[in-house]
Structure 1
C-alpha cells in the first residue's frame, strides 16, 4: 500500500512537472536581461566617469552640495556623464533592436513551420554572447563601444523578442482560448520573477562584489539556460540544417502579409489587427522609455542612488507582475480586461507625473509603488490579438507584435534618451517622463477603435466569453 501511494505521488509530481516547459527559460533569461541592463547602465556611467577622471569621492561631494554651483567643474562633468550614458544606452539599443526586427520575423515564421525549439535556442545562445561581451569588456577595462558587438550579435539571434514570441506561441499551441490570457500572463509573470530576483540581488551583489563577479555568474546562468532548452524543449522537426535555407527566403514576410491583408469573410479583421499592433507600439514605447531612463535618473544628480537603492526600485516595479497575475486570474471576461487596461494606464499616467517632478527619494519610491501594475496592458493585448486571428496565424501575429516591440524600443530609446540628455541640466531633469502620459492618451484612442472593431470576435469565442458580455468601454 505504501509503495502504491509513493507511486501515485511520484506520478502526480511528474504530471505537474510536465506542465512546466518554457517558463524556467523565460525566468532565467529575463533575470539575466534585467540584471545586465541595470548593472550595465551603472557600469557605463562609472566607466565614462572614469574617462573624465571623476572618482566616487568627487561624485559624493557633488551629491552632498545643497546648492548646485554652475561653476563647479565636477558637478558639470557628472551632468555630462549622465547625458553621455543616456546616449550610449540609445546606441546599444539600436545595435540590439535593429537586427532583431528582422530576425524576430524570420525566426517567428520559421517556428510555425518547423517548431519552436530552434528559435528559443538561438535567442538563448545570443544571451550567452551578449554577457560574454560584458565579461570581456569589464575584465579588460575596454572602451564602452566594444559592447556594441555583443549587442548586435544578440539582436541578430533574436534577443528576448524571439524568446518571448516563441514562448507565447508555444503556450498558445497547448492551451484553450478560455485559459490563454492567464497562461500568457504566467509567462509575463515569469519574466517579472526574473526581474524581481535581479532587483533584490543585483544591488547588494554590485555593492559587495563590484561588476566582475556578477557578470561571471550571469554568463554561467545563460549557459545553463541554453543547456536546459536543449534538454527540455521538444523539437517538432529535428532536421534544422536542411531547413535553415527558409531563413533566407521571402516566405516569412509573405506569411505576415497574408495575415494583414483583408479577408474574404471578415473584411474588417485586418483593421482590427493593425489597430492592435499600433496600440501595442504606443504602449510599449511608453513602457520602454521609462525603463531606459529610470536607472540613469536614479544614479545621477541630485539623487545619487547607490546600487542597493537601484535594486530595490527595480524589485518594486517587477513585484507588480504578481499583482497583475492575480488580477487577471480573478477578473475574467472582455469587459474585465478593458477595466484592467484602464487601471494599468492610470498607474502609468500618475506615476510618471510624480517621477517628473520628484525632488526627494520618497517621491520616487511612491511613484514606483503606484507604477506596479503599469505593465498589465501588454499580456491582455497579446491575448486579445491572438483571439482575433486563427490558430495557424498566431505565430506570424506574435512575430509581428515582437517586431513592432523592437521598433518601439528603438523609438523609445531615441525619444526618451534624447529628451533626458537635453533636459538633465535644466530646472526639470525628469521632463522626459512627461512623454509617457502623452503616449498613454494616444494609446487610449487607438485601443478604443481596436476594441470596437474586434468586439464581435472577442465576445463570440466558444468556451470562453459569453455573447451576452456587454460592452462597457
Structure 2
C-alpha cells in the first residue's frame, strides 16, 4: 500500500480506471474499503480505487462461468461512467464533484461510448422536433396573441361608447362622439367619470365569468396534459378564443345587449383561456430543451413573439376602429383566432407522453424543508410577476381615455404597440446578453427595477411625452416572467415538469382574476382623487417581488438542481446487495445521498448544485 502522499498524488495524476487497474484482483476491493473512522479524503481515495477493483471482480466472476464477450462490454460501460467523474476536493475537506453534465431530458439514457452514433441520431431528432415546435408555436402565438390582445382595446372602447349612449343620447356607437376635454366643466367631468366607472365595473364582471372557470380547468386538466398531450392543451384555448370572438362579433354587428358578452367570456374560460395555452407551450418547451440556459432563452424567444403580435394588435386595432368602426376589427380577430386553431391541428407536433402528476403535491410533499421553501418562495414570486403583468390593460385604456390625455383609438393603439415592441424586444435582448456575465436571479432583479420605474412614471404622468417615457424606463421589465419560470423549472425533476407548469398556469388564472378585481376597484375608488394610484400599487408589487427573489437567492445557495444527471444503461445485471462496492456500502450511503449521490439499480445519478450553477450560468 502506498503512503498517504503517494496515494494523494495518484488520485490527481492517474485516470480513475486504467487497463492495469482493470486487471487487479477482487481482493483489493476489501483492502481499500474505508473504515468508520477514516477521513473523507482517505475514503475518497479508497472509493475511487475500489470502484475499479470491484468492477473487475464482478467481471471475473462472470467470466468464470461464461466466456461470452460481455466482459469487454461491461468494462467499456464502466470506463465511460467513471471517466466522466473527476474526484476533487472542496469545502471542509468533503469530496465534491466536477461532472461532465448530460441532461436526461428528453432522451432518457446516456448510451455507452460505442453508441455515440445512436446518441447523435437522438440529438438530431430532438433538434428537428425543436425546430418544428418553435415554428408552429411562433405561428400559433402570433395569430392567437394578435387576435386576443386586439380584443382588449376593442372591448374597453366599445363598452365605453355603449355606456356613453345612455348619458349623451347618442344614436350609434362611434368613438368621436364622446366629448373629452382637459378643461371640461365639473358636470361634464362627473359624467365622464361615471361612464368610466360603469365600463370598469362591466369589465370586472365579465372577467369573473371568464377566469373563474379557467382556474378549475388549469387545476383539473393541467397535469393530465401528459395523457391528453401538449397539443390538446394548446388547441383548447385557441378554440375557446375563437368562440369568444364570434360572439363578440355578433354583439357588435347586431348591437345586442352587452350582457350577451358573458357567454363569450365564459366560453373562453371553460376552454382554459390564455393560461392553458401558456401551460401547453411551456411544458412542450421543457420537453425539448436540455439546460436551464437553453430553456430560459427559448422562453424569452417565445415571449419575443409578443413583440410582433402585441405591436400589430394594438396599432392595427386602433387604426381600424378609427377608420371603419368596431365591426371590421372584430372580423379580423375572428379570422386570426381561427388560423391559430387550424395551425395547432395541422402543424404542432406532440412532444412527450408521461404519467399524470399531482399538480401541487411536490410543493408540500417532496424534497427537504429547504427545497419546499424554495418552491413556495418561487411560486410567490411568480404570483407577483403575473399580478403586475395581467389585468392592467383595461384599466390602462380607461386611464388614457380620461383627462388629461383624452387619447383616441389611434393614439391608444400606437402607444400600446410601441410599448409592447420596446419592452419585449429589450427583454429578449437582455436575457441573451446578460446571462453570459451574471446569474439569472440578478437579471430578474434588474427587470423588477425597470418595472418599478415604468409604473412610477405612468402614475405621475401629466402629458403625452411623459407617457412615452413608460416603455423606455420599462425596457427590460418583461424578462421577469421567463426568468421566474426558468428558476422554478430547474428545481423540479423531469417527471414533475408537467405538474409544475400546471400549477403555474393555475396561478396565472388566479392572478388575472385577482388583479382585474383589485385594479378596477382601486381605479374606481381613486378616480376623482388620483387616477394614477393604481400604478403605484403595481410598483409596490414589484418591490415585494424584488424582496422575494433576494430571499430565494440567499436560501438557494448550494441547492441541488435536477439537470446534472449522468445515467448509464448497463448491459448486465447489477451486483447483489452484499457484493456492492464501498460507494454503495451502508456506512457511506447516507453521506453519498447528502452530497447529492443517488444510486439506482441500473443507473447512477450524480447531482451537484454548485457545479450545475457554474455549467448553466
- Pair 1:424-2:538 in alignment: no
> After the TM superposition, which residues 214-293 of structure 1 pair with which residues of structure 2 at under 5 Å, given as runs?
214-235=329-350, 255-263=358-366, 266-293=368-395
Q: 1:455 to 1:309 in 2, by over 3 A?
A: farther
Q: Structure 2: how far apart are the matches of 1:450 and 1:221?
A: 40
SS at match of 1:176: coil
> Which of 105, 121, 146 is residue 31 of structure 1 equivalent to?
146
For the residues of structure 2 that align with 1:202 and 1:127, how far apart are their CA atoms?
Answer: 17
Confirm whether residue 69 of structure 1 aligns to residue 185 of structure 2. Answer: yes
3-state SS of paired residue (2:404): coil
Match of 2:223, SS state, is: helix
Contact 1:126 1:153 in 2 (8 A): yes
Residue 121, structure 1, aligned to residue 240, structure 2: no
The range that moved more, 350-359 or 303-312, is 350-359
CA contact (8 A) 2:133 2:348 kept: no
Q: Is structure 2 residue 245 aligned with structure 1 residue 143? A: no
| Structure 1 residues 261 and 125: alpha-carbon distance in aligned structure 2, compared to 1, 3 A threshold | same
Distance apart, 1:31 and its partner CA: 1.0
Partner residue, 2:118: none
State how 1:63-462 maps to structure 2 within 5 Å.
Answer: 63=181, 65-66=182-183, 68-70=184-186, 72=187, 74-177=188-291, 178-235=293-350, 255-263=358-366, 266-319=368-421, 320-332=423-435, 335-426=438-529, 428-457=530-559, 461-462=563-564
Secondary structure of the 1:23 match is helix
Q: Give CA-to-partner distance per residue, 1:409-462, whole Å, 9 cap, x none.
A: 111111111111111122x22111110122122112222222333343477844
CA distance, structure 1, for counterparts of residue 611 and residue 197 of structure 2:
53
Counterpart CA distance in 2 for 1:413 and 1:57 is 27
1:31-51, CA deviations, whole angstroms, 9 ceiling, x for partnerless residues?
111111121111111111112
Please give the TM-score of this superposition, normalised by the length of structure 1. 0.86
Mean CA deviation greater in 147-156 or 353-362? 353-362
Find the structure with the greater CA-based Rg.
2
Query: Partners of 1:94 and 1:144 in 2: how far apart?
Result: 15
User: Conserved in 2, the CA contact under 8 Å of 1:203 and 1:309?
Assistant: yes
Contact 2:147 2:332 in 1 (8 A): no
- Alpha-carbon displacement from aligned partner over 1:225-284 (angstroms, at most 9, x marks no partner): 11111111235799xxxxxxxxxxxx97x71243222325x4422211111111111222
**What is the SS of the residue equivalent to 2:558?**
helix
Contact 1:387 1:457 in 2 (8 A): no
Is the counterpart of residue 467 in structure 1 residue 606 in structure 2? no
Contact 1:26–1:163 under 8 Å retained in 2: no
Change (3 A) 1:136 1:330: same
Q: SS of the residue aligned with 2:426?
A: helix
Residues 459 and 274 from structure 1, CA distance in 2 versus in 1: closer, same or farther, beyond 3 angstroms? closer
Q: CA offset at residue 54 of structure 1?
A: 5.4
Deviates more, 1:395-404 or 1:196-205: 196-205
Does the 8 Å contact 1:105/1:396 carry over to 2? no
When residues 339 and 303 of structure 1 are mapped into structure 2, their CA distance, relative to the original with a 3 A threshold, is same
**CA–CA separation in structure 2 for the residues paired with 1:14 and 1:258:** 30
SS in 2 for 1:22: helix
Counterpart-to-counterpart distance in 1, 2:236 and 2:326: 26
Structure 2 distance, partners of 1:237, 1:185, is 22
SS of residue paired to 1:259: helix
Greater shift, 105-114 or 41-50, is seen at: 105-114
Deviation per residue, 1:133-169 (Å, 9 max, x gap)? 1101101112222111111111111111001111011
Aligned length: 439
- Is 26-35 or 379-388 further displaced after alignment? 26-35
CA offset at residue 293 of structure 1?
A: 1.2
Distance, in Å, in 1 between the alignment partners of 2:541 and 2:243 is 34
CA distance in 2, matches of 1:456, 1:342: 20
Shift of 1:333: 5.9
Check conservation: 2:359, 2:499, Cα contact below 8 A.
yes
| Other structure's SS at 2:405 match | coil
- The answer (yes or no) to whether the contact 1:388–1:454 under 8 Å persists in 2 is no
1-structure distance, mates of 2:176, 2:501:
49
Rounded to whole Å, the distance in 2 between the matches of 1:233 and 1:275 is: 34
**1 CA distance for matches of 2:352 and 2:454?**
47
| 1:340 positional shift | 2.0
Backbone CA RMSD of aligned residues: 2.7
C-alpha deviation, 1:469, in angstroms: 5.8
C-alpha displacement of 1:14: 11
Higher helix proportion: 1
Deviates more, 1:254-263 or 1:229-238: 229-238
